[in-house]
A = this chain, B = another copy of it.
Amino acid sequence: MTFKNPVTTASGCFGYGEEFKDFYDLGLLGGIFVKAVTGSNREGNKYPRMAETPSGMLNSVGLQNKGVDNFCKVIYPKIKNFNTEIIVNVSGSTIDEYVMVAERINELEGIPAIELNISCPNVKEGGMAFGVVPSTATKVTRAVRDVYKKVLMVKLSPNVTSISEIAKAVVDGGADVLTLINTLLGMAINAETQRPVISTITGGLSGPAIKPVALRMVWQVFKAVKIPIVGLGGIMNATDAIEFMLAGSSVIQVGTANFIDPMVAPKIIEGINEYLDRHNIASARDIIGALKVC
């Protein structure tokens, strides 16, 4: 599959795209990674689900969604004709659930790829548990690979000792593309009430605060594996996006930044083009992994 440009939007930060039609033409985007889809309806975690932190935020949404059946029947028909690539973020609590969802999405003609979310820190079972141990990461990837015939992306958790080890395990499982990073596990406390700010105590940290960690992981994985990388984590502007591409990302995702500026994704597309012009670089492809280290 190809993207018309390297700028896409991150799962959980862009809904199913529909809300952003009120702001701009979605056809401008390279692609949209829609909100996590699970086997059946999930109410998600209790309110409050977020906390603001220095240059970032914690969330604990907990995969709220109406399930894959609803996705296929209600949501898919509304979004399949967006003039951009739609990738479904597939989540679950068991390998069977991941497989079941992937099988159903496999049938949808308008969806060229799935992004296997083995890195959600905000659900009790499943999610991140799969993504932090190499053997289970391989196992769930392989199980989905067996049933999913199109492009299989796997989204990695940064909450690990060695991201390249996990990346290799997922490549062993048959992934075509790696997405990194999901959120860092964090916590916020209200000193006045002496209580955690979010209902689940801990949640996922996103935003510019995590950019240095994300860039480092993209770089480490870029050196460790040969498949393409979708990079994200704190991208707020074109400069950030370019840094992720230099570190080895073929495509980038914009997540939390959508909350600060709903127009940010088109602005990043423009900014990358200006950068390429200014540096006399023919194509965005030419800066992928082009970091000069000596």
CA distance A210 to B243 in the complex (A): 20
Q: How far is the CB of A4 from chain B (nearest CB, A)?
A: 22
A213 touches B185 (CB 8 A): yes
CA distance A117 to B125 in the complex (A): 34
- Determine if A156 is an interface residue (Cβ-Cβ < 8 Å): no
Please state the number of chain copies in the assembly.
2
B216 touches A212 (CB 8 A): no
B189 touches A291 (CB 8 A): yes
- Residues of B within 8 Å of A234, CB to CB, are 54
CA distance A187 to B212 in the complex (A): 5
Q: Tell me the chain A residues, 119-148 only, with Cβ under 8 Å from chain B.
A: 132-133
Q: How far is the CB of A221 from chain B (nearest CB, A)?
A: 12
20 contacts between A and B (CB under 8 A): A53-B208, A54-B207, A56-B212, A160-B161, A184-B212, A186-B213, A187-B216, A187-B219, A188-B212, A188-B243, A189-B215, A189-B243, A189-B246, A189-B247, A194-B291, A195-B293, A201-B219, A205-B213, A209-B209, A209-B212
CA distance A219 to B242 in the complex (A): 36
Cβ-defined partner of A216 (8 Å) among B186, B213, B293: B186
- Determine if A94 is an interface residue (Cβ-Cβ < 8 Å): no
A56 touches B187 (CB 8 A): no
Interface size (A, Cβ < 8 Å)? 47
CA distance A202 to B291 in the complex (A): 13
Nearest B residue to A159, CB-CB: B161
- Determine if A55 is an interface residue (Cβ-Cβ < 8 Å): yes
CA distance A35 to B291 in the complex (A): 33
A211 touches B246 (CB 8 A): no
- Determine if A275 is an interface residue (Cβ-Cβ < 8 Å): yes
- Determine if A21 is an interface residue (Cβ-Cβ < 8 Å): no
- Determine if A75 is an interface residue (Cβ-Cβ < 8 Å): no
- Determine if A292 is an interface residue (Cβ-Cβ < 8 Å): yes
- Residues of B within 8 Å of A54, CB to CB, are 55-56, 207-209, 211, 234
